[in-house]
Structures are given as C-alpha cells and as structure tokens.
Structure 1
Amino acid sequence: MISLDDISKVMVATVPLYVALILGYGSVKWWRIFKPDQVDAINRLVCYFTLPLFNLDFTAHSNPFKWNYKFLAADAISKVIIVAVLALWARCSSKGSYCWSITSFSLCTLTNSLVVGVPLLGAMYGQLGVDLVVQFSVTQAIIWLTVLLFVLEFRQSRSDFPSTVNCTSSVLVVSDATSQVHSLGIDLKDLEGKCTNNDGLQNNISRPSLCSLLKVVSMKLLANPNSYSCIVGIIWAFFACRFNFQLPSIVDGSILIMSKAGTGTAMFSMGMFMALQEKLIACGPKLAIFGMVLKFIAGPAAVAIASLAVGLHGDVLRVAIIQAALPQSITSFIYAKEYGLHADVLSTAVIFGMMASLPILIAYYATLQSLHSL
C-alpha cells in the first residue's frame, strides 16, 4: 500500500516542475522580461535542442534486452484501437476532424511517464513498476512521439501548399510557389490545378500529390533532431548492452549538460504560453473536462482491453493500466505549440492533469489491488 513517504516522493518529483512553470509565467505576466516573439523562440529552443538531447540521454541508457515485449505489445495494440476509433469518428461524425483526431490521440496515449510515473509506480510496485514505465517511456519516444511529429509535419506541409489562389495576383503567387517548391526539390509536374485570373489567363496552381507531400515531410523530418535522437539512442543501447560498452565521458557529459534542462525548460515554456492567454484555463472548462476524460478514462480503458487480449495478468497488468492514466506528456505540448495545433488544450491537460493525477492514480491502484482475479 502507498504510504505518506511514497506520496512525499511523488511530490518531490512534481513540485519542481511547477516552480519552473511559475517562473515562466511570471517572466511574461509579472516582470515583462520576454515578449511574445521571444516566447516562440524559447519554445523552439526546447523543441529542437533540449528535448532531443533529453530523449537521446534516457534511451541510450536503457537495456532493450530486458524489456517485457508482451507489455509493450499491449500498449501498441491499445494505440491502434484508439487510432481506429478516432479515424472512424473523423470520417463518420459531423464533429470529427483530422486536427482534433491528432490532439485526441495525444490526450489518450502520451503520458509523463518519467517524471511522475517512475516515482509513483516505484512506490506502488517496486522495481517492476520502475522497469516497465521506463520501457514504456523509451518506446513512446521512439515510436509514438515520432508518429505524432510525422502527422503534425504532414498537416503543416499540406497547409503550406496553396490549393487555391487569388486570381488577381495569380502570376505572383504561382511564381512564389514555384520558387518554394524548387528549393524543396519537387517537380511542378507533380502539382496539378488551374486558375483563371481577371485577364482570362490560366496558370498552373499547386494541389500537391501524396508523393510530393511525403517527400516534403521526409525532408523536414530529416532536419528535425526529434525524429532521430531516440533512434540513435536505442541503437547505441543495443550496441552498448550487447558488448558492454559505455559512452565516453566527454560525449556523455556533452549530452547531459543540455538534457538535464529538458523537462525544466519545457515547463518554463508552458508557463510563458499560459501568461499570454486571456484565461488561466486557456481552452475553457468544456475542453478541459473533455481532455481529462480522454486522459484518465479512455486511455486506460483501451490499455485494459489490449492487455487482457495479449494475456497480461497480475502486477504487470496493473502497471499497464495505471501508466496509461499518468498525466499528459510535456513533449506533446511543446509539439502542439511549435506546430500551432491546440496548444491551449495540451497545456491545460499537462498542468491540471498533474494536479488531478495523484488522487486518481491512487484510486486506480486501490481498485486494481482489490480485484485479485486480474
């Protein structure tokens, strides 16, 4: 059973995050140190430097030969279930959309497993809980955050291609589009569409093919360290564990000096974002409640179904369900802010999710412990 000392350990792990959050909030709202354009620049610093090195650091020090692959398979199946439901919702419901499907996937599946999960599940299930949540963290960073990055880049690249044109200035627009496309190495023959301007002239205008979009997205991902930092880390982890190697201290120190700032600067950036909003709950109470339902009910329910399907039982099953109810991933907010997609919803989910998570997770723990048949 969780003791007061265990709860204290969780508080020790989470309270410093709110210190960074408050400092970020105050630097914009109270002390006027940073301007809005500087807030965006700091978020980009987090997105392209501290978070990739943070992910590289913890994946490089994992041991993939000791992973519980049935546990990871259950997590993967649960995410496939959620994707299928969201795809059906986006296609069949008048309220469904591609953009909201992306955000809903983040809310249902991406968790703050290292900062909150490690101390909490360690208190609940000892070393087993710690090992499993670290394994989940690595696969989340390698696979699911990369998938999120891909769909965000795909959405942004699709919107960057002009599908229509103001016909009074079509020549200028087409000329600009042509120059942008050739910097990306794409043949305009792949792009179709026509527009007639006020003088009766016709111009080819870009309606990108799937192949063109995928080429653009691939090039952007190759230039984004978030898409490959974890892959580099896990390749090193396999190599190091197989041959008992360690990173040279100068390399390890170079990574560590920036990676240590990852979580803190992410929370600082979130505080700055909050300070620019008109309301404390930036997305409004309805969307905040919707996000909490997805995080604490829909996600764990999908994991429970998938875990039972692959035959998990005992404490491994309990850890699988509880880790799915951990508060929202901070990285998901950083990506949402960078790509301009529902950052208000994700910031609310992170901030209030961490506040609500402790009593909710303890309730999950007590309920699952009482179900001895699992």
Structure 2
Amino acid sequence: MIGWGDVYKVVVAMVPLYVALVLGYGSIKWWRIFTPEQGEAINRLVCYFTLPLFTFEFTAHIDPFKMNYLFIGADAIAKVIIVTILALWAKCCSKGSYCWSITSFSLSTLTNSLVVGVPLLQAMYGSMAVDLVVQASVIQAIVWLTILLFVLETRRSGNDLYANNNNNNDNNDNNTAALAFGDKTSKDLEESAKKDDEDRPSFCSLMKTVGLKLAMNPNSYACILGITWAFLANRFHFQMPSIMEGSILIMSRAGIGTAMFSMGLFMAMQKKLIACGPSLTVFGMALRFFAGPLTMAIGSVAVGLHGDVLRVAIIQAALPQSITSFIYAKEYGLHADVLSTAVIFGMIVSLPVLIGYYAVLEFVH
C-alpha cells in the first residue's frame, strides 16, 4: 500500500525537473540571458550530446539475460496495435494525417519511466516492478525511439530533398504566373502535377540521405552500443573501466536536467503558457493516460501476464510523457508545443492518475 512517505519520494524525484524547467523559462522570459537562437543551440546540445550519453549509460548497466520476455512481448503487441490504428487512420480517413500519426504515437506509447516510474512503482510493488520499468525503458530506447528517430529523419530529409529541387521551384513559379494571367489550362495543370511527382526524390536517394544523417546522429547508435556492452559485460563478467565511466557520466548526468531546461526555453518563446491550447492538451492527456494503458492491457492478456506483473505492465504504460520525445519534436519541427505540454502537465496529473490505476488494479487477479 502506498503511504505518504512513498508519495513524498515521487515528489522529490519530480520537483528538480520543474526547477530546471523554471530556470530555462526565466532565462529568456524574465532575465534575458539567452536569445531564441541560443535556445535552439541548447536544444541541439541536449539532442546530440547529453541525451545520447544518458541513454548509453543506463542501457549499458542492465542485465539483458534476466529480462522478462513475456512483458517485453506484451509491450510490443501494445505498440503494434497503436501503430496499426494510426496508420489506418492516416491512410483511410479523410482527416487522417501522417504527421499527427507520428505525434500520436509518441503521446500514446513513449513514457518517462526512469524519473517517475522507478520511485512510484518501487513503492507500489517493490524491486520486481523497478526491474520491469528499467527493462521497458531500455526497449523503448533501443526499438521505439530509434524507429521514431528514423521516421522523423525520413520526413525531414524528404521535405529537404523536394524543396532543394531547382526544377520544382521553377515549376511552381511558372504555375503561379500562369494562374495570375488566367491562361492555365486543365492539361497544363495535369502536366504540372505530373512534374511535381517526378521531382519528388526516389526511395533509394531518400534512404541514402536518411542513412547518412542517422550515421552522424549519436542517438541512432547510443542505445545499440549500450545494449552491446551490457551483453558482453554480463556474459564475460567484466566492468566498465573507471576512466570510461567517468567520461560518460560527466555529460549523461546532465541529460534529463538540460532537457527540462531546454523545454523551459521553448515555453518562454511561446505566446501562451499552454502552447498547444486546451483541446490539444486534453487530447494528449487522453492518449497518454488511457490509450497506452488500454493497449498494454490487451497485449498483457494476449501473452498471459497475470498478478503483479500484469498490474505493473498497465501502470508503467500510464507513466508521464517521455522528455526525449519533446527534444526530438523540437529538433525535427513537429508539434513540439503538443509534446512540451504533454510532458509538463502530464507529470503534474500523473500522480493521482497512477494511484487511481493502482487502486483499481488491486481488484484484478
């Protein structure tokens, strides 16, 4: 049973994040220490240095031979369900959008397991729950954040390649001029549309560009290197050299703090405190606290989880929004306002929501 002391431990873990957030917000809004351009540079520092090292550090210290593969399978099923629904919505619905599908996937599936999940689930179910939460974090970093990074890079690279075609710019200019003078025929419009399709980059050229960019992005391989080290270290029973450990820790310890600081900078540059508006905020909270746990419950039942493992699986799927998802959204220019709101308000409302799940799941056997 959760006591006030356990709630206090969770609050202790969360308050420092908001301190970093307020410092970032005040740095632009009140004290004018940073300019918006400098804020962009800080976000890139977080994206390409502190977060990859943080990911490597916690991934490298797990024991992959002791993972609960049924739990991981349930998590995979839950995420595949969400991906399938979002893909069908984007393709078949008139209001569907691939861009919003990407953001909805982040909102539904990517959680802040380590900061909030570890102390809270330790209080609820003990060390077994902590092990499962860490495993979920590692799989999220290795598989789902890597896939998200690939999709975001593909989207940006495709737009860049299309925008950089001189043929395309000339074609658009000619279309505009012709329309202005009223001499554009139906045949011309069809030829123009065909020309636009031809100007789009081929799949091979797009994948080559994406591959080169991801090869230069440390987020692509930080988790892979981390899990590789974890396999070797646990198989052959050796430890990371202290000089290597220290070199990683000096930056990785700043990962979450600088990410929250960057979010504060972003908030300060928005016109409203709730950057995305109340309707999108409610939408994000619904995906975070209901869609994720619902699909995780389906996946858990499908693989036969039961007892406390089932309860932990559902509750960890309702943890607050991943901070990394905001950093990626900011870097790639896709609904960063929605993700920042989901992180900030998600952590505020998560405690009563998660305790509510805990109380309800006590009746599940």
**TM-score, with length taken from structure 1:** 0.90
Measure the CA separation in 2 of the matches of 1:11 and 1:263: 16
Q: Which moved more, 1:92-101 or 1:104-113?
A: 92-101
**How many correspondences in the alignment?**
345
Measure the CA separation in 2 of the matches of 1:259 and 1:283: 30
Which of 263, 282, 285 is the equivalent residue of 1:270?
A: 263
Residue correspondence of structure 1 range 1-374 to structure 2 within 5 A: 1-162=1-162, 164-167=168-171, 206-371=199-364, 373=365
Quote the sequence identity (%). Answer: 71
Answer whether contact 1:22 1:271 (CA < 8 A) is retained: yes
Q: For residue 169 of structure 1, report the CA deviation from its aligned partner.
A: 7.3
Measure the CA separation in 1 of the matches of 2:196 and 2:337: 40
Q: 1:268 to 1:203 in 2, by over 3 A?
A: closer
Q: For residue 167 of structure 1, report the CA deviation from its aligned partner.
A: 3.7
What is the Cα-based RMSD across aligned positions, in Å? Answer: 1.8
| Runs of 4+ residues over 4 Å off in structure 1 | 202-205
Measure the CA separation in 2 of the matches of 1:162 and 1:317: 47
> Match of 1:187?
none
Answer whether contact 1:71 1:312 (CA < 8 A) is retained: yes
Answer whether contact 1:154 1:217 (CA < 8 A) is retained: yes
Residue identity in the other structure for 2:337: D
Residue identity in the other structure for 1:94: S
Structure 1: unaligned runs, 5 residues or longer: 171-193, 197-201
Measure the CA separation in 2 of the matches of 1:365 and 1:260: 31
**TM-score, with length taken from structure 2:** 0.92
Task: Show CA shifts across 1:179-217 (max 9, x none).
Answer: xxxxxxxxxxxxxxx979xxxxx9997321112111111
Residue identity in the other structure for 1:251: M
Task: Show CA shifts across 1:36-93 (max 9, x none).
Answer: 1101000000000000000000000110011101000100110000000001111121
Answer whether contact 1:142 1:230 (CA < 8 A) is retained: yes
Measure the CA separation in 1 of the matches of 2:172 and 2:289: 52
Measure the CA separation in 1 of the matches of 2:226 and 2:290: 32
Q: For residue 259 of structure 1, report the CA deviation from its aligned partner.
A: 0.1
Secondary structure (helix, strand or coil) at the match of 2:328 reads: helix
Q: 1:168 to 1:67 in 2, by over 3 A?
A: closer
Q: For residue 162 of structure 1, report the CA deviation from its aligned partner.
A: 2.2
Task: Show CA shifts across 1:88-120 (max 9, x none).
Answer: 111121211000000000000000000000000
Residue identity in the other structure for 1:17: L
Q: Which moved more, 1:155-164 or 1:68-77?
A: 155-164
Answer whether contact 1:165 1:195 (CA < 8 A) is retained: no
Answer whether contact 1:162 1:205 (CA < 8 A) is retained: no
Task: Show CA shifts across 1:284-317 (max 9, x none).
Answer: 0000000000000011000000100000000000
> Match of 1:183?
none
Measure the CA separation in 2 of the matches of 1:356 and 1:52: 28
Answer whether contact 1:113 1:326 (CA < 8 A) is retained: yes
Measure the CA separation in 2 of the matches of 1:205 and 1:152: 23
Secondary structure (helix, strand or coil) at the match of 2:155 reads: helix
Answer whether contact 1:59 1:237 (CA < 8 A) is retained: yes
Task: Show CA shifts across 1:124-160 (max 9, x none).
Answer: 0000110000000001001100000000000001111
Q: 1:150 to 1:168 in 2, by over 3 A?
A: closer
Measure the CA separation in 1 of the matches of 2:359 and 2:303: 24
Task: Show CA shifts across 1:321-354 (max 9, x none).
Answer: 0000000000000000000000000000000000
Residue identity in the other structure for 1:130: V
Residue identity in the other structure for 2:269: L
Residue identity in the other structure for 1:46: V
> Match of 1:174?
none
Secondary structure (helix, strand or coil) at the match of 1:282 reads: coil
Structure 2: unaligned runs, 5 residues or longer: 175-190
Secondary structure (helix, strand or coil) at the match of 1:166 reads: helix
Measure the CA separation in 1 of the matches of 2:29 and 2:360: 42
Secondary structure (helix, strand or coil) at the match of 2:362 reads: helix
